[in-house]
Every structure is written in structure tokens, then in C-alpha cells.
Amino acid sequence: MSKKILVVAGDGIGPEIVAEAMKVLDVLQSDGTLELSVENALIGGAAYDAAGDPLPQQTLDAAKASDAVLLGAVGGPQWESLPIAKRPEKGLLGLRAELGLFANLRPAILYPQLADASTLKPEIVSGLDILIVRELTGGIYFGQPRGVETLPSGERRGVNTLVYTESEVERICRVAFDIAMKRGKRVCSVDKANVLECTEMWREVAIRTVADYPEIELTHMYVDNAAMQLVRAPKQFDVMVTTNMFGDILSDCAAMLTGSIGMLPSASLNAAGQGMYEPIHGSAPDIAGRGVANPLATILSVAMMLRYSLDAPAAAERIEAAVSRVLDQGLRTADIMSAGMRQVGSSEMGDAVVAAL
């Protein structure tokens, strides 16, 4: 059955990298692997310029009606002076919220060919394959009460609230356990149960929920130790599951273990399995329009889309294998370039992945 995808390229390098990802999807469509109907829509600064709104209703409606959304990136200096509600980033946050994308999946994979790109020693990171499952719609980023008030003394007092219900914890744990069943069957739940009651409950719910997954080995780690372990011995982890804020911080740390922001995809899923897929990097205004951006994170986001929303895991593996083959051939965009390799632009990299497919 034909699946519907919405493509929102966004700003900066967004359109350049999405164009390369679309070449890959086009091959899979023309060789009969996939049957897709593809729609394009505006988001971010591009949508503000065209329609005065970073998330036009038309884009939102199209996203809700699709099986999956492929996003490039949003933002740029030309929109930074707009009121917050009109800024490009608001379009992206609005889309995540409106689609109820509560589960953020961020793999940190280091292709052995790129071990030299990490700031850590190659033996610590070579072959790294971690998946961080971050809760995305709850926790301290959304909890009430929040804000800054002025006390009678004239001093200001700022408040944010860490809040989770048991059902919110259970559903994100289930996402992590389900995915771990298809990987190494090991999940580390990261909390701060020694200090924060809310995450003490998180730990209890994780333990209760894993009873439905007898094959999963569940461990627990305080977030401070998890940060340390990620840079000390990251290969000890398979899947990590954690709160919105801890996941925000730990996933950036894990991303940098791989040393190449242009290589890392992400997925955000809702309860219906609908998902939004995007590279973890931003719109890179400093290199936009020059044809040098690395399109591999976006191409690998397509692979995640095939795996998690379009039920085409074999096609996902084909894309990942093609990326690996291109790296074996020594092709590198500027961000991952090293001695003895051949530097290519975005388009040549996209073409090479297509050829390797």
C-alpha cells in the first residue's frame, strides 16, 4: 500500500541535504522497493517569508495526514530578530507538539571508517552503536508552575518543575524496550533517583514495565555517572532511556563521540507510530548555498523513516550499507575529511550513495 510522506526542507542547508535524500528515496521507488506519495511543504524561515507563519496551517494539516515527515533544518540569522512566536524554531517545536512526538530516538553510531573524526581515542569509540531514547514532550521543559516572579523583597525567583506521570514514563520505557528487543536487548535507564523523587518514580515504573520484557536486561544509572561513562567507556551502552532534559544533554554528548554532526540522524515518534525524521544538526547558515554540506545524516534519517514508520527494515539496511560502502570508497564531505581521502560536495556524495544502492 502506498505510504504518504511530507517533505519539509526548511532553511539554510535544509533544501540541499533533503535534495540528496530524495535521490535515495527516488531510487527505492523506481526499483519497486517502495510505493510512496510525496508532498512538499514549507516550514521555518522559508514559511515565515512566504506566509508570515513558521508553521502554516497547510503544513500542519499535511503533516497530520502523512505517515512520516522528513525534515531538513530550520533557522538562520535573518530571522533571529523576529518575535519568538514567529521564529523558525517555533515552527519545528510546534510541529513536534502538534504531532505528539513523545519519543526521540537518537543513535550515536561511529562508522569504523570515521574513527579518526572523534575527539576520543579510536579504540574507545570505533564501532560505537548507541541509541538514546529521550522523552520529548514532558518533564522539566513543559512542567508547571514555571516562570520568573519578583518577590516582595524585590529579588527575582525563577521556577521550573520536573513532572512526569506514570503513564508518560511507561510509554517511553516501552519504546526503549521494544527497540532494544531488535538490538542488543540491553537498556540503561538514566535518572537522578538519589535526589529527585520524580525520577525515583521513573525508576520504579521502568522496573515494573520491564516485567513484560523478560529478555531485556535493564540497568539504572544516575545521570552524572552516565555522562562520565559516555566519555569513559561508551561502548558499554546499547539503548539508553531517559527524561527530556537528561536526554537533551546526554544525546549531544553522545553525538560528539562520533565527531561528525553531519552523520547523525534522528527520529521522533508518536503513539500511532507516525514519525518525524531529521538530521540532528541545524541549518548551518555558514555553509548554506555552497553545496558542501554533508547529506549523510539526512540520508540516514530516511533509513530510520523506513525502519520505524514505513515498515521497510530491509530497505533501511540497504541505505545504511550503501553509506558504509561510500565511506569505504574514501569519499568524504569537508566536515569528515581526513588525510588520504577524496573530498566531495553534497551532490556527489548523494550520487555516490545512489550508485552504491
- In the complex, the residues that contact ligand NAD under the rule CB under 6 A are 13, 17, 73-76, 89, 92, 261-262, 278, 281-287, 293-294, 297, 335
CB of 88 to ligand NAD, least distance (A): 7
CB of 55 to ligand NAD, least distance (A): 13
| Catalytic residue status for 61 | no
Mention every residue, 6+ apart, whose C-beta is less than 8 A from residue 184. 238, 239
CB of 117 to ligand NAD, least distance (A): 12
Helix 197-210 / helix 166-181 crossing angle, nearest 10 deg: 50
| Catalytic residue status for 90 | no
Which position among 53, 191, 238, 248 bears the catalytic label? 248
CB of 154 to ligand NAD, least distance (A): 34
| Catalytic residue status for 248 | yes
Q: Starting from the edge strand earliest in sequence, which strands make up the sheet with 68-73, in order?
A: 36-40, 3-10, 68-73, 275-279, 265-269, 103-109, 129-135, 239-242, 186-191, 217-222
* Nearer CB in complex with ligand NAD: 27/74: 74
Which position among 141, 185, 235, 351 bears the catalytic label? 141
CB of 297 to ligand NAD, least distance (A): 6
* Nearer CB in complex with ligand NAD: 109/218: 109
Which position among 11, 53, 90, 192 bears the catalytic label? 192
Within the chain, what is the greatest distance between any pair of CA atoms? 71
Q: What is the DSSP string of 215-267?
A: T-EEEEEEHHHHHHHHHH-GGG-SEEEE-HHHHHHHHHHHHHHTT-GGG-EEE
CB of 254 to ligand NAD, least distance (A): 16
Rounded Cα–Cα distance for residues 11 and 90 (Å): 13
* Nearer CB in complex with ligand NAD: 8/241: 8
Q: What is the DSSP string of 138-191?
A: SGGGT-SS-EEEE-TTS-EEEE------HHHHHHHHHHHHHHHHTTTSEEEEEE
Rounded Cα–Cα distance for residues 77 and 108 (Å): 28
Which position among 31, 61, 224, 311 bears the catalytic label? 224
| Catalytic residue status for 185 | no
* Nearer CB in complex with ligand NAD: 8/218: 8
CB of 67 to ligand NAD, least distance (A): 21
Rounded Cα–Cα distance for residues 41 and 344 (Å): 29
* Nearer CB in complex with ligand NAD: 89/170: 89
Alpha carbon distances (Å) from 176 to 189, 268, 271, 302, 344: 9, 13, 13, 20, 37
Amino acid at 21: A
| Catalytic residue status for 252 | yes
- Give yes or no for a contact between 331 and 120, defined as CB atoms under 8 angstroms apart: no
* Nearer CB in complex with ligand NAD: 106/192: 106
Closest CA to 181 of 135, 215, 155: 215
* Nearer CB in complex with ligand NAD: 10/138: 10
Give the 3-state secondary structure of residue 328. Answer: helix
Which position among 26, 129, 252, 351 bears the catalytic label? 252
Residues labelled catalytic: 141, 192, 224, 248, 252
